[in-house]
Every structure is written in C-alpha cells, then in structure tokens.
C-alpha cells in the first residue's frame, strides 16, 4: 500500500511539472487540471498521515491503540480531511506554478508564501484529529500554537534535515557501489526507488511523532515516553 501511495506521489509530481510548464499559455486550465490530478494522491497520503497522528496522540497519552483502529477512527473525519486536502492541494498547485514561472517576482512570492504556509499549517492535522474541528478552525489554532512552540518547530526541522542528509549520503554511497561493480539498471532503479520510499516514510514518521508530542505538550497533556521537561524548554512562556 505504501509503495502504491509513493508511486502515485511520484507520478503526480512529474505530471504536475509537465502541466505547470504550460502555465503561461493556459493558466486557468493548468490550475484546474493540476488540482484534479493532484487531489486524489494527496488525499490518500493525508488520510494515512492523519491515521498515524491519531495513533500517536492516543499512544502518547498511554492508550493502547493499533494503527488499524486509528485508520477506522480517521474515517469518521473524512469530510474534514477532504476539505483540508482541497485547500492544501490548491495551495501546492499554485506554489508549483509559481516555482515554474522562473521570474524574480514569482520566486520571491513562492519563497515567502511557501515558508509561511509550511509554518502556519504545522499543527493543523493534530488539531483536526484531537479537537474534532474543521480545517479553518484548525488553521487558526495552529497559528496560535506556533507562537508557543516555534523553537521546537525549528529544532525538529533541523533534525529532519540531518536525517534527510544522511539518507542522501546513503543513496550516493550506494550509487558509487553500483558503479564500481557495474551492476545493471534493473537492480539500480528498484533500489533507488526503495530508498526514496524509505526516506518518505522515515521523514513523515519522525515529523508526525514530534508534531504530535509538541501539540500535546503545549496543551498540557501528560505524555508517555517523552521527557516533558525537555519538551517544555522549547516552548515560549506567555
């Protein structure tokens, strides 16, 4: 199932790049078609990510729950997840179009808006799951919580950067190994795809764990398996 999801993501990425190359000629058509093509795989990924966060929020508070139970609970929030998928997919299509525009103004807007979007939406999923609210309310609450945990947010992303850098180094080492022994592409391509999928899984999992733990800490919830004193040092006292 994870491989299918990853394949959908990769295929949608390349097709989306093909669409945005024609953005200047047919902007409205490209945005609508790109959004429709991007929506389905985005919802699948978002649903699995929400299921993981559901499982984490329960387990971090000492409740024994399986990932399958979490997936069943997440189905109850399908309507809210569909709404959030539509919003986030629209933003992603616009950001990709700006990135492919290759102009100074577009690059500036992309950098500012892209960073702001990634920061302000950091807690949206945990809030939607734990507080059972819609995407708009979750977005507003996420902005409020970011002010309390911004140092942890930066540190988590730095940790994720180190993990990604390590995986990139691993891929590079593997490619050198294959070049030395002159192995054929039938072996190389599946292995590279496997490493890409593993990078996606690891980065998403680590981000979800820290994301859920920080959300619960900011809301003064008791955590199992985390040193709350350490987590609290990353929060801004108000």
Per-residue tokens: 51 = 């299921």
DSSP type of residue 182: T
What percent of the chain clears pLDDT 70, i.e. is strictly above it?
A: 61
pLDDT of residue 189: 66
- Both structure tokens of 105: 């103004």
- For 61: left if phi > 0, alpha if psi spans -120 to 50, otherwise beta; the answer is alpha
Q: pLDDT value at position 79?
A: 92
Which pLDDT value is given to residue 137? Answer: 93
pLDDT tops 60 at residue 4? no
The residue among 48 and 155 whose pLDDT is bigger is 48
pLDDT tier, 126 (very low <50, low <70, confident <90, very high otherwise): very high
Residue 231 has pLDDT above 60, yes or no: no
What mean pLDDT do residues 66-81 have? 91
**Average pLDDT of 106-116?**
84
Higher pLDDT, 165 or 211: 211
Q: What's the half-sphere exposure (Cβ side, CA atoms, 13 Å) at 55?
A: 17
pLDDT at residue number 127: 93
Residue 181 and residue 113: Cα distance in Å, rounded?
46
User: Rounded to whole angstroms, how far apart are CA atoms 81 and 173?
Assistant: 39
Contact (Cβ atoms closer than 8 angstroms) between residue 119 and residue 131? no
Say how far apart CA 22 and CA 13 lie, in whole Å: 15
Domain boundaries, the chain: 2-232
pLDDT above 90 coverage of the chain, percent: 15
What was the pLDDT predicted at 175?
Answer: 64
Is residue 28's pLDDT more than 80?
no
Nearest CA to 63 among 130, 134, 153, 132?
Answer: 130
Per-residue pLDDT tens over the stretch 174-230: 666 666 555 555 556 676 677 777 777 777 787 788 788 888 877 877 776 655 555
- pLDDT of res. 223: 72
pLDDT at 7 over 90: no
User: Using the 8-state DSSP alphabet, how is residue 237 labeled?
Assistant: P
**What confidence category does residue 35 fall into, taking pLDDT thresholds of 50, 70 and 90?**
low
pLDDT beyond 60 at 235: no
């Amino acid at each position: 199932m994870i491989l299918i999801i990853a394949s959908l993501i990769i295929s949608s990425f390349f097709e989306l790049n093909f669409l945005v190359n024609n953005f200047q000629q047919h902007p409205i058509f490209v945005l609508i078609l790109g959004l429709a093509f991007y929506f389905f795989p985005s919802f699948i990924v978002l649903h699995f990510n929400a299921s993981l966060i559901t499982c984490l929020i329960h387990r971090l508070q000492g409740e024994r729950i399986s990932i399958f139970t979490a997936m069943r609970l997440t189905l109850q929030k399908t309507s809210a997840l569909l709404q959030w998928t539509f919003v986030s997919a629209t933003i992603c299509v616009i950001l990709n179009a700006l990135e492919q525009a290759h102009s100074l103004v577009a690059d500036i807007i992309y950098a500012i808006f892209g960073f702001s979007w990634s920061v302000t939406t950091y807690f949206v999923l945990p809030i939607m799951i734990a507080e059972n609210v819609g995407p708009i309310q979750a977005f507003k609450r996420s902005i409020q919580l970011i002010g309390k945990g911004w140092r942890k947010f930066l540190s988590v992303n730095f940790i994720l950067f180190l993990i990604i850098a390590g995986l990139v180094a691993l891929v590079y080492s593997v490619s050198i190994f294959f070049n030395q022994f002159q192995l054929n592409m039938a072996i190389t391509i599946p292995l590279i795809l496997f490493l890409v999928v593993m990078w996606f899984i690891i980065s998403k999992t680590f981000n979800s764990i820290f994301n859920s733990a920080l959300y619960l800490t900011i809301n003064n919830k008791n955590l199992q398996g985390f040193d709350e004193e350490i987590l609290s040092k990353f929060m801004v006292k108000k």
